[in-house]
Amino acid sequence: MSLTTKEKILKEAATLFSELGYKATSVRKIASKVGIRESALYNHFKNKEEIFLTIADEIFVTPIQISQEEIEKEAKRGKAFLNRFVTQYKLLTFDKHSEKMFRLLLIELFANKALRERFINEFHQKNIKLLSQAFFIMMQNDLIRSNDPILIAYEFLSVLFYIRFEITLLRFDNKSTASLATQMEKHVDFFWESIKKQNC
């Protein structure tokens, strides 16, 4: 299936941003990579920042894209749901393109207010909402002990985010991440043992 012009712009821009950085990537360079005139690019995006923020939304995406109905069903599986979440999170973490963009986004977060807002809304809040809903359903089904589901979501996600951040730092210096490859799964095991009901 061939890409639309808009999709080509995003694909080429993501490559340029990850290789050159935000400042060194110009609209002219993006248009040249796509093979269109600079003026034609403005038919799809108003400026470089809009292209960058659109790509950021894809990088900040929640690992599991599921409906409310699916959350109700999947969360009843308890630990299996957490394993599914972590598997998807790990795929994003170890994907080379996502890792490069994640590194760039971390740098740009302090320079771009719109990016910070997207990070809070699209990545942080959506993940916390998804996880807290899942933990609440697990409590209702007597799989885990009663507690504040939002706090549990924060506790669960924060370790995953830190591991992702550590992997990004190690890769930046071309150091091995082999010792971290299984840490996310170990986190699920450890975390589940600390929150599950004794009879589960």
- In the predicted structure, residue 181 carries a pLDDT above the cut 70: yes
pLDDT of 200 reads 53
Q: How far is CA 123 from CA 4, 22, 79, 109, 120, in A?
A: 26, 20, 22, 13, 6
Identify whether the C-beta of residue 118 lies closer than 8 Å to the C-beta of residue 57: yes
CATH superfamily, domain at 5-52: Homeodomain-like (1.10.10.60)
**Can you give the residue ranges of every domain in the chain?**
5-52, 60-195
Contacts of 82 (CB under 8 A, 6+ apart): 134, 156, 188, 191, 192
- Arithmetic mean of pLDDT, 124-138: 94
pTM of the model: 0.84
User: Tens digits of per-residue pLDDT, 91-119?
Assistant: 888 888 788 888 888 888 898 999 899 88
- Arithmetic mean of pLDDT, 140-164: 96
- Arithmetic mean of pLDDT, 138-146: 96
Task: For residue 143, count CB atoms less than 10 angstroms from its CB and return exposed for 0-12, middle for 13-18, buried for 19 or more.
Answer: buried
pLDDT of 1 reads 64
Q: How far is CA 90 from CA 17, 35, 86, 134, 188, in A?
A: 22, 34, 6, 19, 12
Q: How far apart are CA 66 and CA 136, in angstroms?
A: 16
pLDDT of 199 reads 67
| 60-195 CATH, one of 1.10.357, 1.10.3470, 1.10.238, 2.60.40 | 1.10.357
Q: How far apart are CA 135 and CA 21, in angstroms?
A: 38
> Binning pLDDT at 50, 70 and 90, where does residue 60 land?
confident
pLDDT of 172 reads 84
